[in-house]
Homo-oligomer: A and B are copies of this chain.
Amino acid sequence: MITLTSAEENYLKAIYHLSDGGKKGVSTNDVSAEMKTKPASVSDMLRKLGEKEVIEYRKYYGLHITEEGKKLALQTIRKHRLWEVFLVEKLKFSWDEVNEVADELSHVKCKVLIQRLDEYLGFPKFDPHGDPIPDEYGDVRARPRQLLNELDLGSTGQIVAVKDSSPAFLRYLDKVGAYIGARIKVMDKTEFDGSVEILVDNKKSIFMSKDVAGNILVMV
């Protein structure tokens, strides 16, 4: 059985995200930027992850995550997202505050704990940001989603996730009245700058730049 330290788990999770679930290769600098550690530290960690065979690592040529690596990454993501659900649903944290705390909580080593937590939360399928929660075996059932700026005029849907989940962006959304779960309808689209007018929950009308709308995922 492969066991990873907390730091190794963090790196592998970052690598999984950067490689878009294993589709793309990833560079040392990519990981460095994501983890906010220096490239030299990353090199060292990649060597270790390579030895544990959760990534395939060729010096100077970047890396690919292995099947085993994907499994482990998905288990880490599962833990992280279940704790996020707990923090938001039960402890009333707002969805822009939970990331770091969930990270720490998800490093507690206890299989049973995660099973019980899952059960206690009612086996949720999505986290507060709308991202899917993998099951025990790493299976993910994603729902069909579309970027808000690509929706046709008049089409309706529900906000289910954001691409950029930085606290700043999440706070901005809260401020203008958009939130995960909001029912929306595209009322107007401006051709020359790509901005859109959105009706939220059939009552509040808000404007969004193309950049903002391009960060919002809608289930249609």
- Chain A contacts with B in 85-121, Cβ cutoff 8 A: 87, 90-93, 100-101, 104-105, 107-110, 112-113, 116-117, 120
> How close is A10's CB to chain B, nearest CB, in angstroms?
15
Bound form: Cα–Cα A113–B113 in Å = 18
A90 contact set on B, CB distance < 8 A? 120
Enumerate chain B residues within 8 angstroms of A117, measured Cβ to Cβ.
91
Chain B proximity of A87: nearest CB distance (Å): 8
Of all chain B residues, the one with the shortest Cβ separation from A116 is: B91
Q: How far is the CB of A130 from chain B (nearest CB, A)?
A: 23
Cα–Cα distance between A85 and B181 once the two chains are bound (Å):
32
**Cross-chain contact B116 with A108 (CB below 8 angstroms):** no
- Cα-based distance from A107 to B6 in the complex (angstroms): 14
Are B108 and A104 within 8 A (Cβ)? yes
Which of B91, B108, B112 interacts with A105 by CB under 8 Å?
B108
Q: Mind listing 19 A-B residue pairs with CB under 8 Å?
A: A87-B113, A90-B120, A91-B113, A91-B116, A91-B117, A91-B120, A92-B116, A93-B112, A93-B116, A100-B110, A101-B108, A101-B110, A101-B113, A104-B107, A104-B108, A104-B109, A104-B110, A105-B105, A105-B108
